[in-house]
Amino acid sequence: MKTLRLGPWPAIATLVLSAVTLAGCDDDDDDDTPSDSELATEALLRISRDAPTELPDNVPEDLRRVTFGGTQYDLLELLGRPSGSRPSARIVAAYQTVDTPADPPPLGTPSNAVLPDYTRSAPAAQVYECRQTGGVFAWAFLQPEAGLEPMTTTPVPGLETLGFDHFRYPGGIDYGPPTGTPPVGPAWRVSALALNGGEPTFGQTLFVGAADVTVPNGAGNVPLLRLSNAARIDQGLPSDVFSRTTSDGTQVGYVLRLDTVGGVAPTAGCAGAGDVGKRERVPYSAGYYFVEVLTPP
């Protein structure tokens, strides 16, 4: 059986890889073909290890500016600091929007499995719904619908064993401690069916964010965003897929939505009671950068 060379992986990632490697062994010790679980785990780790080390040059200052302990820092400068210094930052993963998956797995728990609400095999879109407030009819933003493709410095083998999507997390699912019940909000997910252990809601990382800074990006494009780390659920995946939780106060995770094109609300079609509830998918593209900041002691 083939042994994958990991290099200096975090301890939890190494343990996960060891587990799936053992699960993939059979009686033929001369078989050098890695199992799907090995390929999936290696791909997950490579997405993090080979993520871009720098943000695009055009990131607005408002999105880069963070404050800890009353001191203001620039994410660009923090990304250039030595690893492990405090404060410092690193890009944990980066993704580009693509078409939505054709057959996404459910999210949730064995007792509460929910399929994500989006149009299958469709271009990435911002979805708007016609609503009435008093006597006024207007399009209101409802949810994102997109697949995701990792941006890495080198090609990542085994991506076909993974699934990536971006949608509106519906809330109402209690994952138990330490996560509990995350709030409704935009969500990013990585799924590895090869690691599901027979349970369709296992083998996933789900990140639910809340916007804290927006910057306009032209009349025809949805704004640039920075989202704070609101909740993160891991179910059997290595810990470095997305930026980590903020529960211990020593680290903060952000998602930056950059390079947006399209996606603005329609200008017609929501004019009367007969239009209320109608949805429109407006195609868009964007890059999402997950940034972890080690905060000062």
Q: Which residues contact 160 (CB under 8 A, 6 or more apart)?
A: none
Residue 6 lies in a domain: no
Using one digit for the tens of pLDDT, what is the confidence trace for 54-87?
A: 999 899 999 999 998 899 999 999 999 998 899 9
The confidence score (pLDDT) of residue 248 equals 57
Q: What is the pTM of this model?
A: 0.87
The residue among 89, 81, 84 whose CA lies nearest residue 10 is: 84
Using one digit for the tens of pLDDT, what is the confidence trace for 241-294?
A: 766 655 456 888 899 999 999 999 999 999 999 999 999 999 999 999 999 999
The confidence score (pLDDT) of residue 191 equals 95
Q: Which residues contact 248 (CB under 8 A, 6 or more apart)?
A: none
Would you say residue 32 has pLDDT above 60? yes
41 Cα distance to chain centroid: 17
The residue among 242, 267, 131 whose CA lies nearest residue 191 is: 242
Of 84 and 151, the one with more pLDDT: 151
Mean pLDDT of the chain: 87
CA angle 216, 219, 220 (to 5 degrees): 110
Would you say residue 157 has pLDDT above 90? yes
Residue 5 lies in a domain: no
Residue 144: give the domain boundaries. Answer: 11-294
Alpha-carbon distance of 112 to 98, in angstroms, equals 28
Using one digit for the tens of pLDDT, what is the confidence trace for 173-188?
A: 998 887 788 889 999 9
Residue 3 lies in a domain: no
Residue 218 lies in a domain: yes
Domains held by the chain: number: 1
The residue among 265, 250, 287 whose CA lies nearest residue 63 is: 287
The confidence score (pLDDT) of residue 12 equals 32
Residue 41 lies in a domain: yes
Using one digit for the tens of pLDDT, what is the confidence trace for 171-226?
A: 999 988 877 888 899 999 999 989 887 888 999 999 998 899 999 999 999 999 99
